[in-house]
Structures are given as structure tokens and as C-alpha cells.
A and B are shown apart, each in its own frame.
Chain A
Amino acid sequence: MNSNIVLRAVAKLFIPFIMLFALYVQFHGDYGPGGGFQAGVIFAAGFILHALIYGLEETQKVAKPSTVEIFVALGVLIYAGTGVVSLLKGGTFLDYGVLEHDPVHGQHLGILLVELGVGITVASVMMTIFYGFAGRGRS
């Protein structure tokens, strides 16, 4: 159908930019509005657009539900892991100052890791919830 071709072409153009924008928002959360939550939702929106245009089976070939579920747990693990690493290095739980030679650099590293964990979890959870709703109507 003709309308399908227009949608597919536009989606092919948009989806890489959506993912790039999500990565930009994730890593520039320190300098402007942004951070883990916004980036995770925008990243999931790219996948949801793909699923709406190309069909749920195609998207589930790219991002298998079992893999996405592993990433859900991985984000929380990165976050809590940063806290445990600070414990092992001699500080208190989630004390980023001891992660590096200099407290300010330690804070930068800690914030980066923690926001990464949050972004991974939020993106994976949004995708999982979408898979749950969209996959329920089959059969």
C-alpha cells in the first residue's frame, strides 16, 4: 500500500536520530536538562516507533524480550554496584568521592555511572511494558 511506503521511509529516517538524541540527553544531563529518565524513555520510544511501523515480530527479532528483561536487571545492578564499589574502596555506600584520586572527579564518575544504570533500566522497562501490552492481543 502506498501509505505504508511513506511511513516506512520516514521511520527509517527518524529512528537513528531518535536513538542519537536519547544518547545525547543521557550524557549531557550534567550540562543541561536531561539525565537517565528522559533518555531511557526517548530510547524506548524509538523502539516503539519501529514496532508500530514494521510490526511487533520484526522488533522482537531486533530486541528479544528475554534480552530486554536481562537489561532491566542490569541497570539496577550497575547502580547498586557503584554503591558497593564505594563501600569496598573505603567510603560509605554511594559515596562517590572515593571512586577516584580526587573527590570532584569521583563525583563526576559516580554520577555518570549512576545515570547510565537508571537510563538502561528505564529504557528496558518501557520496552518490556510495551511488549506486554502489544503482545497480549495475539491469538
Chain B
Amino acid sequence: MEWPGLYNYWIVIILMMTGFYTAISRNNLIKKIIGLNIFATSVLFLYITMGKVRGGTAPIVVEGGAIYSNPLPHVLMLTAIVVGVATTALALALVVRINEAYGTIEEDEIIVQDQES
């Protein structure tokens, strides 16, 4: 049956689109960054779901042998998580400076202030 086999991927796409919508339609800069974080987490899901093997276990070698899930997506996503937090930290530092320079973190008010000066 096709539907249960792809249910995971469709929920992942729903999560991705929710994060995407939050990032593009909200005016508050911190809300946008939260939306980007949700998007990044759902991309992690996509890859790790692809690496799962039915009946497998975590890729740590045990005595007697077993079926292991694919370790390569895990490695790549480990990198992605850490790069994500690094980017979030830099983005939040910039938001703090923008707040000090403009007095607000709403995007439309910042644009108005830029156009006036």
C-alpha cells in the first residue's frame, strides 16, 4: 500500500512548509528565526527517515551482528544541527544589534525608518 509508506515524508513536508510560512510571512525578526529553525529540523527529519531500515537498530556494533540503520545520514545531520545552532546564534546577535540601532525588530518598521533616513 502506498499511503502508509509515505506518511512520514508528508508530515515532514507539512513541518517544512509551516516553518517556511513562519519565516516569510511574519514581520518579527525573532519569529522568522524560529521559523527557520523549524524548517532546519524538518530537513533533518527527511534525511534520517530515509536512512532508517525496517527491523534495524542503532548503528553501534553489537556482538552477534544485526541489521544496522544507515550511519551516513546520521553523520551528515549531526553536522547540520551544529551548523544550524551556529547560524542561529549569529542571527540573534545581529537582531540584538538591529534592535539597538533602530529601536524595533519589526521588519516593516525597519524598512520605513530606512526609507526616511
Tell whether A pairs with B.
yes
Could you tell me if A133 and B96 are in contact, using CB atoms closer than 8 angstroms?
Answer: yes
Interface of A is mostly: helix
Asked whether B89 is an interface residue with its Cβ less than 8 Å from the other chain, the reply is yes
The docked-state distance in angstroms from the alpha carbon of A21 to that of B32 is 34
Question: How many of A's residues come within 8 Å of B, CB to CB?
Answer: 10
Asked whether A90 is an interface residue with its Cβ less than 8 Å from the other chain, the reply is no
Could you tell me if B78 and A37 are in contact, using CB atoms closer than 8 angstroms?
Answer: yes
Smallest Cβ-Cβ distance to B96: which chain A residue: A136
Asked whether A5 is an interface residue with its Cβ less than 8 Å from the other chain, the reply is no
The docked-state distance in angstroms from the alpha carbon of A102 to that of B94 is 49
Interface of B is mostly: helix
Smallest Cβ-Cβ distance to B60: which chain A residue: A32
Asked whether A48 is an interface residue with its Cβ less than 8 Å from the other chain, the reply is no
Per-position contact with B for A15-34: 1 when CB-CB < 8 Å, else 0? 00000000000000001110
The docked-state distance in angstroms from the alpha carbon of A37 to that of B85 is 12
Q: How distant is B42 from chain A, measured CB to nearest CB, in Å?
A: 20
Smallest Cβ-Cβ distance to A30: which chain B residue: B60
Question: How many of B's residues come within 8 Å of A, CB to CB?
Answer: 10
Could you tell me if A132 and B60 are in contact, using CB atoms closer than 8 angstroms?
Answer: no
Asked whether B101 is an interface residue with its Cβ less than 8 Å from the other chain, the reply is no
Could you tell me if B89 and A129 are in contact, using CB atoms closer than 8 angstroms?
Answer: yes
Asked whether A122 is an interface residue with its Cβ less than 8 Å from the other chain, the reply is yes
Per-position contact with A for B52-88: 1 when CB-CB < 8 Å, else 0? 0000001010000000000000000010011000100
Write out the residue numbers on chain B whose beta carbons fall within 8 Å of the beta carbon of A125.
86
Asked whether B24 is an interface residue with its Cβ less than 8 Å from the other chain, the reply is no
Per-position contact with B for A110-122: 1 when CB-CB < 8 Å, else 0? 0000000000001
The docked-state distance in angstroms from the alpha carbon of A129 to that of B91 is 12
Could you tell me if B82 and A133 are in contact, using CB atoms closer than 8 angstroms?
Answer: no
- A residues sitting closer than 8 Å to B (CB atoms) are 31-33, 37, 122, 125, 129, 132-133, 136
Closest 5 CB pairs of A and B: A129-B89, A37-B82, A136-B96, A32-B60, A132-B93
16 A-B pairs with CB atoms under 8 Å apart are A31-B60, A32-B60, A33-B58, A33-B60, A37-B78, A37-B81, A37-B82, A122-B82, A125-B86, A129-B89, A129-B93, A132-B93, A133-B92, A133-B93, A133-B96, A136-B96
